Structure 1
Amino acid sequence: MDDNFLKQTYRNRCYIYGANGKLALKIPVIHTQKNRQKYRDVKIFNEEKWQCNHWKSLLSAYKTSPFFEYYEDDFRPLFEQKEDFILDFNLKCFDFICDILPLELKLSKTEIYKDEVENVVDFRNLVNAKREPVQKFNTYTQVFESKHGFIPNLSILDLIFNEGPNALNYLESQTINSTI
């Protein structure tokens, strides 16, 4: 929560599988590199109709997926209710995903930034969207797989809309390399 906000990270973007392949969904933020901002202080630029555009993209990409209709009404409020700060929106999404899966995680929020952390697995390096991921996950069936093949490292939405209640079993079956 207390590190500096960096551009081109997964803090304000994700990727889904559209009809033409990998599609970026970016949340516009009010940010400047001149005056470094803490992640918690970065505001969403809500003048842009990003939520409506993201929802249309999800409809286009996943309306034919096996579980989109099952979760559609649950997810819709995330794309209708506005949040002022990107951190608040991300925490709201995280809580929502934990409820959907269902995941019971013990979370704590940081009070200060630390370069090195002890007694916890540090996944902060995974936030960089421009770095090619080295973590390999098993494949699952995707809507447009017959056109473009399996696309890894997409939003959790791709897994949920394609695997539904089996999404948690899929995640639990993966081996995570925390030394990436």
Structure 2
Amino acid sequence: MMRKIEIQLFGPIAAFARLHEVETIVLEKQEHWQKMGYRNRFQVLGAKDVLAITVPLQGGRDQKAMTADLTIDYHGRWMKEHWRTLESLYNRSPFFYHYAPGLQQIWESRHELLWDMAEQSLRWTLKQLRWQGAIVHSTTFSPICADDSTDFRHRFLPKNRKHFLLPAYQQTFGERFETNLSILDLLFNMGPSAAAYLKQLPEELNQRQTHES
């Protein structure tokens, strides 16, 4: 079984639930850049609200280049600031420091291309989840097909994050559970149990998700 999906930077939990169950992941490498989605950002839980961690791009977000060709803008101190944000938000979670060394290596690798950073984040995450399938790249572009059960491009978007109602787990802040954050939130809070959590989700998602194109 396979799933096709656009590249995501530490994508949402619901996406990993659907990727974790297949043998092959096909990453869409022939698309033109679209600023909606998780291609250069991910969502984490702050003390008062959900926060977006965004990797800046040269040329900004309003451009017509191929996603695979976009370069990261390293002006400013965003790498240090983003890492400090992650550390301040999750340093009290049970498994942050277990994953921090590998995650920090990705964050400080200074990839030239967004694609390379996002793909490394995907491979690192799947390794933590003990996934042993294959990741391949698309070689031609085809329009999204709503009737294709293997096509998950544009299925998981920031605008519909709350439509994926996932079972609650203990989070770092607040009494109200925030659903479908970045996979990092699950890893930091559940550690090695994250894989078992994901395995119970496909049926749950089919029953409770609301999908907007």
Deviation, 1:131, is 4.0
The question of whether the paired residues in 2 share the 8 Å contact of 1:28 and 1:48 is answered with no
The question of whether the paired residues in 2 share the 8 Å contact of 1:14 and 1:26 is answered with yes
Runs of 4+ in 1 over 6 A off after TM superposition: none
Change (3 A) 1:99 1:27: same
* TM-score for the superposition, normalised by structure 2: 0.76
Change (3 A) 1:7 1:80: same
Which residue of structure 1 aligns with residue 71 of structure 2? 43
* 2:170 partner amino acid: T
2:159 is aligned with 1:130? yes
Q: Percent identity?
A: 28
Which residue of structure 2 aligns with residue 94 of structure 1? 122
1: CA distance, partners of 2:148 / 2:36: 28
Moved more, 41-50 or 158-167: 41-50
Matched length: 178
Segments of structure 1 that go 5 or more residues without pairing to the other structure are none
Moved more, 2-11 or 25-34: 25-34
1: CA distance, partners of 2:63 / 2:89: 37
Deviation, 1:145, is 2.9
Which residue of structure 2 aligns with residue 167 of structure 1? 194
Which residue of structure 2 aligns with residue 157 of structure 1? 184
1: CA distance, partners of 2:51 / 2:62: 30
Deviation, 1:121, is 1.1
Segments of structure 2 that go 5 or more residues without pairing to the other structure are 1-28
2: CA distance, partners of 1:142 / 1:134: 19
Which residue of structure 1 aligns with residue 134 of structure 2? 106
2: CA distance, partners of 1:47 / 1:129: 26
Deviation, 1:127, is 4.5
Which residue of structure 1 aligns with residue 49 of structure 2? 21
Q: Secondary structure at the match of 1:145?
A: coil
Aligned residues: CA RMSD = 2.2
* 2:190 partner amino acid: E
Deviation, 1:47, is 1.4
Q: Secondary structure at the match of 1:44?
A: coil
